Structure 1
Amino acid sequence: MTRLFNEPSAFADEMIDGFVAANSAQVRRVSGGVVRSTVSTPGTVAVVIGGGSGHYPAFGGIVGQGLAHGAAMGNLFASPSAQQVHSVAAAANLGGGVLLTYGNYAGDVLNFTAAQDRLNSEGIETRTVVVTDDIASAPLAEKHKRRGIAGDLTVFKAAAAASEAGYSLDEVVRVAELANERTRSFGVAFTGCTLPGAAEPLFTIPEGRMGVGIGIHGEPGIDETDVPTADGLAELFVSTLLSELPEGISSPDGQRAAVLLNGLGSVKYEELFVVYRRVAQLLEEAGVVIVEPEVGELVTSFDMAGASLTLFWLGTEEGSELERFWRAPADTPAYRKGSVGAVEQAAPAPTEALDAGLTENIPPATDDSRAAAAVAAAALQAIAEVIDENVGELGRIDAVAGDGDHGIGMQRGSRAASSAAVELLAVGSGARTLLQRSGDAWADRAGGTSGALWGVALRAIGDTLGDSDAASGAAVAAGVRGATTGILGFGAVVGDKTMVDALVPFADALEAGIAAGRPLTQAWADAADAATTAAAATAQLLPKMGRARPHAEKSLGTPDAGAHSFALIVQRIATVLKEQDSK
């Protein structure tokens, strides 16, 4: 379990601060993560990586000469927000364009894509390559749905080496895509991992048993077997990976490959070496030429006891492009290879405040809109309170088939939004400004899918209410409908076992109640009841999106965490509206 922490919701920020203090010769802090503290070649491509914290050395630990130029670092097991990704990429930009590359998870795709769109609109040419190396997470016919695990490193390394070689953005993208196509990984675990502040691990495996097909966020395996011997595990790893060769490689015989045996947190190096001994024997028997293998912790999951094997197929010829890039020197806090030569420290740069500009340039607002803003601020405070009361339960529900981060992510986001609302209310913000900027604060601090969705929701409602008019029931219903439309735009539909399953019935019931002439307080309360019923019904659904999708059957009987938290929130807001009516 994780024993050393202060406030669990502050763990990621404090970890990053300590990491930078310990490695200032190679990295410096920027809003949203870290970038190199050394001078890089102007005009080259900046490779920006990232994901949730809790996977050290991924992602900040592999920022430095010969590897990434920057890493956006989200909350524990949650993607960084779009603002964090944008901030890191803008700081890392060298003038040759930016490549964003990260593991293929819904929240990361959502937030990195939003950041890419913003960077391109600002004239910083930006492209994306997602890593999809985990063969257990989707069948070959749907390999675009596979998640990224320890194979992240091979893609990041190839792309960064191509940048160091002076390749254009198009060519760096080509290399990264080829590296991803040539990378395959497979993992197992013997125990689950425990997030800071949690009393129990995200999942458990019976003593003497092993979860097969494990992820890096505490996702349960897709199968379970007896724990094999070290040689037995090596045989499972090698036979599984050799059963699916990348396109263009018909046989392992004569192929050159980088081999990565990755510890997930609690398996000791000595154990990994025992396993690797047999891995190397089996690969050599199959005719594989092993090139600069890596054995150790590359992408971890807190205290999870487990391991994964990655094969990075380089081709048949010594000195091929991919092999040169794999062998290229690198010098980062957690990963070193060869010698990068003398490097120059970059000039110090000030750290941006996460809430910079929050209360700047406040648009004028009418008394009616400021009154609506006061109600919105009270609602946001109530949201933060109800999430605080249920944070443990939300994490427990999310851990059944996901990664258990929903509670802590919602807590960070709702607290940030409530604090922002207090500041904005004090300077006379109207409803639109207060909700939109509070939504941005939520998205930025929470990260992950939930952060992005609640950011969209608050922005949409604020946009409809404006800074001039009173908040009529019709305007609120229209804002909720706008929020629903925005969230549906991310691809989920009713029946996918997501927040949408509670949101859509809520929006429909609210509109119907307002259209029937009911006051907002009553229409909202009725809609909240509809959302609560719908959220409970998600227990009987199988997830079709997100990290829970590969473990669909495990979630039967448990409601979706996002739908459940939505129902809790709208019920608490119903209480706020009733209290406002009684004043």
Structure 2
Amino acid sequence: MSYLLNDPATFAEESVDGFLAAHRRLVRRVPGGVARASATPENQVAVVIGGGSGHYPAFAGLVGAGLAHAAALGNVFASPSAQQIYTVAKSVATDAGVLLSYGNYAGDVLNFDLAEQRLRAEGIPCRTVRVTDDIFSAPPEERDKRRGIAGDLAVFRVAAWASEQGMDLDAVVDLARRANQRTRSFGVAFSGCTLPGATEPLFTVPVGQMAVGMGIHGEPGIAMRPMPSARELGGLFVEGLLNELFDGVMNARGARVGVILNGLGSVKSEELFVIFATIVAELDLAGVTVVDPEVGEFATSFEMAGVSLTLIWLDDDLEAAWTSPAYSAAYRKGAVAESNTPAVADQVIDQTYSVEVAGSEASAAAGSTARDVIEAIRVVIHGQVLELGRLDSVAGDGDHGIGMQRGSRAAADEASAAVSAGAGAGTVLCRAGDAWANKAGGTSGALWGAGLRAAGERIGDQLRPGADVVAAAVDAARDIVQSMGGASVGDKTLVDALVPFTLGLTARIDNGETLAVAWSRAAEDATAAAVATADLLPRVGRARPHMEKSLGSPDPGAISLALAMTAAAAVFTEASLRKEES
């Protein structure tokens, strides 16, 4: 796939720039995403959606009357950071509160939950509805683990309609949850997609085959089936969705459904219409009435050749919402009344850097070492970005290398700026962590950011930390990573390398080894543990639905953690040698 781009690293940001330039009458820039051009009406619940880039019209194209009030936009296939989500929600919040709604992916859950906690702490009422419509990503008894795909549109429409009817936050949440409970999707792919700047697709489908149950982030399918005709695919879709009715409905006959036939990138309108003819005929045969169907692109995955079918089983309220007017950059239905709320200017992101000077020269000296460690991590990640992406594409979405590259680069820049401002080690690490989380997004971005901040808070800015304090800081980072991510040793995540590194470091320092020696040997422990994850099956995260595919391949998060700790070891060893020479 050839992309028209300037720099793969800035592709998502520049795409948003162009989107805003094209739709100035409808949307405005806010830090972390986009919002309706007009202010949220007083006492109206603000519906805030979001997710990674690469899925247009989700999510920026679904901001407008009858749809979302704002969208937080992450980088390519990476969730927006907690900071982005928070600032986007703040920009449109009213006293009535905020509803956060998004597809159910680990990185999105982690970052949206952090943003919700921050909003609530500031007195802004905030609730969440996660979309879980993909029937192939988890069995019915584990619906809360399912992914959100094109069913996002149905849930967003219902939530926005409820908000614009003047319902309070509880009522908006209840109706959005009802919509999610009654929404089911089934997707297939005929080829994978390629990330901007990459040379290979995230997955391939053998000629004459079809991947069933793929994800919109380039996750490979759950199973392979022979390539069907359009008529056979339409029948397969309907049969699959009618076999899983929502709770309390035993027979589809007499039901009314909203329908979304979604092209994932390179399957275009004429092909979709051919498939849709069969879908309508099959639903008619089953006694199901189709209401206001949508055929087109609503949740894409770059140039993936794929299609998904979504059914939302309607009741009176849901049908009123589904058929209501809407007007956004990418979705328009009926006639929308002109807004009587004032337009709001773009919000400029303040790039001014300020930091309190460290409490001691010793801590400032340690801050320089912390900066060197983060710079070393940036360098090694940059050199391994393609390999980390390859490892991630085995059973995930292939963006781990790019995300780590973005995060480490932002952290290194922020650490350097903090040192130049005279910051101590604690502030250097905290600022670097915040920058990492904000720029990387996704699960790894949030965890690395939180880990660095936890370490910085433990070290502080008053003294040059000894080896025991450094070990305690690493353990604080481990603790927050495990508590936030919910992973344990054996789940095939970065925790499988982080825990042995932490235990090894602490034990060796307790036995009197120097920081440089203890860190180097602990890094060896982390590397061995990371390599050993090849024998594990993932129990959490995006790779979980494809666990067998990852057997024999190590976890990219564990590998990148081991690489980072090894790079840091070289910095501590060099610093120790300089100290001996002086």
TM bracket, shorter-chain basis? over 0.9
| Cα offsets for 1:544-572 (capped at 9, x unmatched) | 11110000000011100100000110001
Equivalent-residue separation in structure 1 for 2:340 and 2:83 (angstroms): 29
1:565 alignment counterpart: 560
Residue 137 of structure 1 is matched in structure 2 by 137
Query: Is the 8 Å Cα contact of residues 357 and 422 (structure 2) preserved in structure 1?
Result: no
Task: Quote the offset at 1:345 in angstroms.
Answer: 7.2
- The 3 A distance-change label for structure 1 pair 350 and 231 is closer
CA distance in 2, matches of 1:281, 1:66: 30
Counterpart position of 2:251? 251
Tell me the secondary structure at the aligned position of residue 128 of structure 2: strand
Cross-structure match for 2:203: 203
Deviation (angstroms), 1:438: 1.1
What's the counterpart of residue 285 of structure 1?
Answer: 285
Letter in 2 for 1:406: H
Within 5 Å, give how 1:138-177 maps onto structure 2. Answer: 138-177=138-177
Matched with 1:295 is: 295
Using structure 2 for the length normalisation, give the TM-score: 0.98
Quick one: distance in 2 between partners of 1:159 and 1:170? 11
Mapped pair 1:431 → 2:425: yes
Match of 2:77 in 1: 77
Post-superposition offset of 1:46: 0.1
1:489 match:
483
Residue 230 of structure 1 contacts residue 274 of structure 1 at CA under 8 Å; is this kept in 2? Answer: yes
User: SS where residue 74 of structure 1 aligns?
Assistant: strand
Match of 2:383 in 1: 389
Question: Following the alignment from structure 1 to structure 2, what is the Cα–Cα distance between the partners of residues 530 and 167?
Answer: 55
RMSD of aligned alpha carbons: 1.0
Native 8 Å contact 1:36 1:69 kept in 2: yes
Q: Which amino acid aligns with 1:512?
A: A
Show the counterpart of 1:324: 320
Q: 1:487: how far off?
A: 0.8
2:494 match = 499
Match of 1:475 in 2: 469
The alpha-carbon deviation at position 324 of structure 1 amounts to 0.3
Q: Is the Cα–Cα contact under 8 Å of residues 39 and 343 in structure 1 kept in the other structure?
A: no
C-alpha contact 1:9 1:411 (8 A) present in aligned 2: no
Q: What secondary structure, in the 3-state scheme, does the structure 2 residue paired with 1:293 have?
A: strand
Q: CA deviation at 1:472?
A: 0.9
1:228 CA drift (Å) = 0.2
Q: Find the residue that maps to 1:28 and give its secondary structure.
A: strand
Q: Is the 8 A contact 1:421 1:435 kept in 2?
A: yes
For 1:555, give the aligned amino acid.
S
Mapped contact 2:41–2:341 kept (Cα < 8 A): no
Correspondence 1:28-39 to 2 at 5 A: 28-39=28-39
1:336 corresponds in structure 2 to 332
**Retained in 2: the 8 A contact 1:25–1:38?**
no
Separation (CA, whole Å) in 1 of partners of 2:185 and 2:506: 48
- Give me the whole-angstrom Cα distance separating, in 2, the residues matched to 1:321 and 1:417: 48
* Matched AA of 1:553: E
**1:27 and 1:2, CA in 2 relative to 1: closer, same or farther beyond 3 A?**
farther
Match of 2:523 among 516, 523, 528: 528
For residue 375 of structure 1, what is the aligned residue in structure 2?
369
1:542-557 equivalences under 5 Å are 542-557=537-552
Check the 8 A contact 1:84/1:444 in 2, yes or no.
Answer: yes
Q: Is the 8 A contact 2:28 2:346 kept in 1?
A: no
Among residues 385, 404, 409, which one is paired with 2:403 in the alignment?
409
Who is 1:88 aligned against? 88
**1:519 and 2:550 correspond:** no
Q: Distance in 2 between the 1:457 and 1:38 partners?
A: 38
- Aligned ranges 1:90-129 → 2 under 5 Å: 90-129=90-129
Does the CA-based 8 Å contact 1:102-1:130 persist in structure 2?
Answer: yes
- Structure 1 stretches of 4+ with a deviation exceeding 6 A read none
1:575 to 532, 550, 570: 570
**Offset of residue 2 of structure 1:** 4.4
Structure-2 separation of matches of 1:345 and 1:166? 15
How many matched pairs? 577
Query: 1:453 matched to which residue of 2?
Result: 447
Contact 1:2–1:195 (Cα < 8 Å) also in 2: no
Deviations 1:18-43 (A, max 9, x none): 11111111111111100101243211
Give how far 1:214 is off: 1.2
Asked if the contact 1:376/1:431 (under 8 Å) is kept, the reply is yes
Shift of 1:276: 0.3
Cα shift at 1:351 = 2.7
**What stretches of structure 1 of length at least 5 have no aligned partner?**
none
> Alpha-carbon deviation of 1:391?
0.6
Change over 3 Å in CA distance of 1:266–1:326 after alignment to 2: same
Q: CA–CA distance in 2 between the matches of 1:201 and 1:551?
A: 17
Q: Kindly state the Cα deviation for residue 362 of structure 1 after the two structures are TM-superposed.
A: 1.2
Task: Please report how far the alpha carbon of residue 578 of structure 1 lies from its aligned counterpart in structure 2 after TM superposition.
Answer: 1.3
1:227-238 equivalence runs, <5 A: 227-238=227-238
The SS at the match of 1:178 is helix
Q: Shift in Å at residue 355 of structure 1? A: 4.5
Q: Which residue of 2 aligns with 1:268?
A: 268
- Superposed CA deviations along residues 372-420 of structure 1, whole A, max 9, x for unmatched, are 1000101111111111101111111000000001011111111000001
What is the rounded CA distance, in whole Å, between the counterparts of 1:567 and 1:244 in structure 2? 43
- 1:355·1:441 contact (CA, 8 Å) conserved in 2? no
Tell me the percent identity: 57
Which residue number in structure 2 is paired with residue 365 of structure 1?
A: 359
Mapped partners of 1:39, 1:428: distance in 2:
41
Q: Aligned-pair distance for 1:466?
A: 0.6
Q: CA separation in 2, counterparts of 1:22 and 1:321?
A: 34
Unaligned runs of 5+ in 2: none
Instruction: Name the CA distance, whole Å, in 2 between partners of 1:242 and 1:354.
Output: 51
TM, length-normalised to structure 1: 0.98
Q: CA offsets per residue over residues 342-379 of structure 1, 9 Å max, x none?
A: 235744435332645xx324153211100110001011
Mapped contact 1:363–1:433 kept (Cα < 8 A): no
